[in-house]
Homo-oligomer: A and B are copies of this chain.
Amino acid sequence: MKLKSATLRDVAQAAGVSLITASRALSNPDIVSAKARERVQQAVEATGYIPNMLAGGLKSKRSLTVAGITPGLSVTEFLPIMQALTSDLAREGYQLLLGETGYDPEREAAALDAMISRQPDGIVVVGLVQTERARARLRRSGLPVVELWELSDRPVDMSVGFSHLKVGSTLGGYFLSKGWKHVGAVTGADPRARLRTEGFRTTYGGDVPIAVVRPPSNLERGRRALAELLEKSPKLQAVCCTSDMLANGVLTEARARGMRVPQDLAVCGFGNTDFSEYTVPSITTVHVDGAGMGRLAAQLIMDRCRGKTEEQSIIDVGFRLIERESTGGEGADSTSHGLGYR
């Protein structure tokens, strides 16, 4: 049944050239005579040849594969990243090897080992690599590594992201400027969300009741979180959420309770998810260029594969506060923070 598929040797034989000429005709057509090239092409068609990249990679040390590690495939903030990564790499002939960690350091370490075993040409990790052991192994592997989404002053190799603390403090400042006295926060349980909430709380100062939401951060948990906050703080005027979906849940629960947004309760989210501009009211949020980060990571990896040595290995892509109706904005304003390279 499993008729063994054609190898390059079969192609060479059918084309009447040597093995290596067939190899070159496919991987480096320019250095081969037009005649030979053509005959090899035909032989490929005739035999239905599909190259075996395990063999090629073993010899050449290039697997044309890049590993992508994410805490969760369905965490919506990371989708644009993975998407951009996948398509940009594919365009240049690289395939993505996917790994999931569930925010668990053990699984992360295991996933990284599984990846390294498969000899990728580079590794992209969403978030910072968590265990020192894994960091050491990555360094030893000598592979190009990009840590994404969060900045590190001591990255394994390269780092592309933004400051979550700064996002939080920007929002804290914004809430202060609005003069709200009774505010609360709804935060996802993951480290980055906590960091943003921490920045918010610190900058806002005073007493801020916080509802912690375990993953996934969906509409339902946003609704429950508002209920929880209102019990702690009945005079609540404004809520800062670590995702647009949670903010949408707060919006929904507020509506169900007959509270007007933003008059009775102001709400802001994070992520500038596609729906947040079109809800009623539209959601004030923080925009982060996920797709841009994915593209940048792909570029950095591929550049490195082609021998460019980067002087610039820590890139802050910044973020942007987008004011919309849910905090009384008109939807036109938008302020940039931390853009640019350092």
Contact surface of A with B, Cβ cutoff 8 Å: 1-3, 5, 48, 50-55, 57-58, 63, 65, 68, 72-74, 79-80, 82-83, 86-87, 90, 93, 95-100, 111, 113-119, 137, 140-142, 216, 218-220, 223, 245, 248-249, 252, 255-256, 274-275, 277-280
B100 x A87 contact (CB < 8 A): yes
B99 x A115 contact (CB < 8 A): no
Q: Across the two chains, which residue of chain B brings its CB closest to A118?
A: B53
A97 x B98 contact (CB < 8 A): yes
How far does the Cβ of A135 sit from chain B's closest Cβ, in whole Å? Answer: 13
Q: With A82-B73, A219-B274 known to touch, is A1 a contact of B98 (CB < 8 Å)?
A: no
A95 to B99 alpha-carbon distance, docked (Å): 7
Q: Which residues of B contact A119 (CB under 8 A)?
A: 52-54
Q: Which residues of B contact A90 (CB under 8 A)?
A: 99-100, 111, 114
A257 to B254 alpha-carbon distance, docked (Å): 19
What are 20 pairs between A and B in contact, CB < 8 Å?
A: A1-B142, A3-B142, A50-B113, A50-B141, A52-B119, A55-B58, A73-B79, A74-B83, A86-B98, A86-B100, A95-B97, A95-B114, A218-B275, A220-B278, A223-B278, A249-B278, A252-B279, A252-B280, A255-B280, A256-B280
A245 x B275 contact (CB < 8 A): yes
How far does the Cβ of A23 sit from chain B's closest Cβ, in whole Å? Answer: 14
Q: Which residues of B contact A280 (CB under 8 A)?
A: 252, 255-256
Q: Which residues of B contact A48 (CB under 8 A)?
A: 137, 140
Q: Across the two chains, which residue of chain B brings its CB closest to A68?
A: B98
How far does the Cβ of A317 sit from chain B's closest Cβ, in whole Å? Answer: 20
How far does the Cβ of A254 sit from chain B's closest Cβ, in whole Å? Answer: 10
